[in-house]
Amino acid sequence: MNTLDRDKQLVAEILNGKRQALSELVHLYHTNMTRIARSFVGDANAEDVVQEAWVSVVRSLGTFKGEASFKTWMTRITINAAKTRLRKEAKHISHATVVEDLYQDDYKEDGTWRVAPIPWDDESPDALLQSEQVLSAIAKTIDKLPDNQRIMLTLHDLEGVLMEDVCNQLDITTSNGRVILHRARLAVKAVVNKLQEV
Amino acid sequence: MLTCRDINERSSEYLDQQMSFMQRMNFRMHLMLCKHCSRFMRQLEAVVHTLHRLSPQQSTSEEQLEELVDKLHQDPQA
């Protein structure tokens, strides 16, 4: 059974009052919802936002048609809950352009490399994923990114949300979104690079 | 002709397959000729693929999850 069929079946069972199906759905998606909420509102409020999102999800399960995946649907509801929380607290997602150029010192005026990139011990994702030090550094870097970069990176690269959908949610153009994502990736790469220098 | 700096600036576009055929060819041509940019791209690609595979950290206990399920199950408006 594919993911969409499984989710549709779980929704049908929940609507028939099956607690076990609800438990399964919560266990399947709660952690992803928390990561999404956290990127908007931070650690302290993420759990509250996700609980509010779950209430909205369960109350509107009858309207879930299964045209988009449950994950897409639930992601939108979580983002809306997070944005509502930000509005209530009169907080805004910082869209400030990052002024500093992460790589300006790397290139000469003619656009060629000033200092060549250093080689890494192992340039495979498998190697990076196996290093606790790298994973911890990546997590810390993501937390410290400007709001819009953190949200963009979390939604697009970590959660697999389409660029167009993220940009709609953040009310920015796709081209702006691509620049924001690129900046965020370079920031993460810079940290991994630093670890290789040690 | 793309410069090394151009390669950096457009590297995410390349990885996310947002280039036209010709742009992609020009980009690849530069990578074939420039070992520094080629290394830069391999490293950025590794980082992006790592991000794609990062699992979210479980921060909610089993007990808290079951409490939430109870609350949702008993929600009169659900």
Q: Which CATH number covers residue A159?
A: 1.10.10.10
Band the pLDDT of B75: cuts 50, 70, 90: confident
Q: Are residues A191 and A116 in the same domain?
A: yes
Tell me if B68 and A26 make a contact (CB, 8 A cut-off).
Answer: yes
Whether A96 is in a domain gets the answer: no
3-state helix, strand, coil in chain B (%, to 5): 70, 0, 30
Query: A81-124: per-residue pLDDT in tens?
Result: 999 999 998 777 776 555 455 666 789 999 999 989 999 988 89
Whether A93 is in a domain gets the answer: no
Chain B nearest CA to A14, separation (Å): 9
Q: Which CATH number covers residue A61?
A: 1.10.1740.10
Whether A94 is in a domain gets the answer: no
Q: Are residues A147 and A62 in the same domain?
A: no
Domain termination residue (choose one: A28, A53, A88): A88
* Res B59 pLDDT > 90: no
**What share of chain A has pLDDT > 70, as a percent?**
94
Tell which wins on pLDDT, B44 or A4. B44
Question: How many structural domains does chain A have?
Answer: 2
Query: A132-163: per-residue pLDDT in tens?
Result: 999 999 999 999 999 999 999 999 999 999 99
Interatomic CA distance for residues A36 and A78, integer angstroms: 7
Residue A90 confidence (pLDDT): 79
Q: Are residues A114 and A191 in the same domain?
A: yes
Domain ranges, ordered by start, for chain B: 1-53
Query: What are the residues whose beta carbons fall under 8 Å from the beta carbon of B78, sequence distance 6 or more?
Result: A55, A58, A59, A61, B72
Least CB-CB distance to B69: which of A26, A106, A129?
Answer: A26
The number of residues in chain B equals 78
Judge whether A66 and A4 are in contact, CB under 8 Å: yes
Interatomic CA distance for residues A20 and B45, integer angstroms: 40
Tell me if B12 and A178 make a contact (CB, 8 A cut-off).
Answer: yes
Query: A19-71: per-residue pLDDT in tens?
Result: 999 999 999 999 999 999 999 999 989 999 999 999 999 999 989 888 888 99
The question of ipTM being above 0.95 is answered as no
Whether A98 is in a domain gets the answer: no
Q: Which domain, by its residues, includes A52? A: 3-88
Interatomic CA distance for residues A52 and A69, integer angstroms: 20
Count Cβ atoms below 10 Å from residue A125 Cβ, excluding itself: 18
Domain termination residue (choose one: A42, A57, A88): A88
